[in-house]
Amino acid sequence: MKPYAEMSREELEVLLRQLREEYRHFQEMELQLDMSRGKPCREQLDLSMGMMDALYSEADLSAEDGTDVRNYGVLTGIPEAKRLIGAMMENDPDNIIIYGNSSLNVMYDTVARAFTHGIMGSTPWCRLKKVKFLCPVPGYDRHFAITEYFGIQMISVPMTEHGPDMDMVEGLVAEDEAIKGIWCVPKYSNPQGYSYSDETVHRFARLKPAAKDFRIFWDNAYGIHHLYDDDQDYLIEILRECRSCGNPDLVYKFSSTSKITFPGSGLAAMATSLNNLQDIKNQLKVQTIGHDKVNQLRHVRFFKNFEGMRKHMRKHANIIRPKFEVIESILEEELGGLGIGEWTKPKGGYFISFDTLPGCAKAVVDKVKKGGVVMTGAGATHPYGLDPEDKNIRIAPTYPPLEDLKTAAKLFSLCVKIVSAEKLLKEENDD
């Protein structure tokens, strides 16, 4: 079929009637499918059930330094857990704090601490007239929700396949002292699945922000979430790069095992400079006596070492890789060459990013929902939920079963066709 933009009015009208009839067939199926969030499926969760047997009533519950993990204490994590997570994050265990199960919680706390007490002696953000954050778009809606909750002004920065527009980032942070941070998902980004290039990481490490308390919020959520053994993205380690550039305190780096073991009971961690760590620990020791060390030991006993974690992630990839591939295959089969949509083909992570014709994303998501499939709301990938071009949609393939995904992908493609044809016909009428 030729591109929609090359079709005559009559061709589009005939096509639209056919598409609407096909859509009615989907509605008659009374689907109830949910692909709104990037959640692991049941088969992925089953991979970690051995963790339930890693500790038992007769097990030795002492850490390698003799700490009884059932008791109070150990603010930053037991040594063997810090070593395991340090290997996962590519950071020295001395630069790591292990928290509870949620890295999002850690990021929220980090922003809240800056608001109430400042960063390393700087003025608390709550006392400033204006606080701003840079937000690469499309991006992660929960990042944007944190900054919006605190009343921080969000400034959108366009994403490229190499990372954020660094000319814009460098210019803005150098000239505006009110800009205090930037959200980053540097590897297999949410939602596009892009990984920052070497040059992008180099430029981040060399930033010269006007604000002394500016921090890069480096959420490396998908650092080891590859889809392929033989074709993986590589990311320069940001803390080392910052140290070599004389900017050791510039970054807060976050990660977790939430999509490695159990999202509800994984391990979250932050890696940063020793100066930043001391600043954080001054507050953390008031907030808690220590996090769940039993869970830390459980993870160590289950994986044993980082190689055990890598082998575990290959099992995850074997489950979700076919899901990504079936989505990409159906999109190409149904929409390829029609000029009404573009999508990414990530090598890892949890999402595919889809761009409709401008002005169509909300209508597509709404029509898909009426057909029986719930997706992430259009606009969620932008600050304040407002996509100025109304074109980006986040596709989350991991949770539904494969056969359900095939149905959802066909329905999604059909809705893109219908909404695009309607848009083009309306434009002709307006002319």
* CATH number for the domain running over 65-304: 3.40.640.10
Task: State the chain's mean pLDDT as an integer.
Answer: 97
Q: How far is CA 429 from CA 56, 226, 296, 328, 424, in A?
A: 71, 47, 63, 33, 9
Using 50, 70 and 90 to split pLDDT, how confident is the model at 1?
confident
The residue type found at 381 is T
Indicate if the pLDDT at residue 286 is higher than 80: yes
Indicate if the pLDDT at residue 115 is higher than 90: yes
Angle at which helix 361-370 crosses helix 402-430, to 10 degrees, equals 130
CATH topology of domain 4-44+310-430: Aspartate Aminotransferase, domain 1 (3.90.1150)
Domain ranges of the chain: 4-44+310-430, 65-304
**pLDDT tens digits for range 88-104:** 999 999 999 999 999 99
Burial group, residue 360, by CB count within 10 angstroms (0-12, 13-18, 19+): buried
What count of other Cβ atoms lies within 10 Å of the Cβ of residue 211? 18
Contact 185, 223 (CB under 8 A): no
Indicate the helix (H) or strand (E) that contains 179.
Answer: strand 179-184
pLDDT at 428: 81
Helix (H, G, I), strand (E, B) or coil at 255: strand
pLDDT at 431: 67
Handedness of CA 176, 180, 184, 190 (dihedral sign): negative
Contact 33, 400 (CB under 8 A): yes
**pLDDT tens digits for range 208-259:** 999 999 999 999 999 999 999 999 999 999 999 999 999 999 999 999 999 9
Q: How far is CA 68 from CA 13, 64, 78, in A?
A: 72, 10, 10
Indicate if the pLDDT at residue 430 is higher than 90: no
Beta bridge partners of 174: none
Alpha-carbon distance 121 to 114, whole Å? 10
Which range is least confidently modeled, 30-34, 68-72, 243-247, 387-391? 30-34
Contact 74, 67 (CB under 8 A): yes
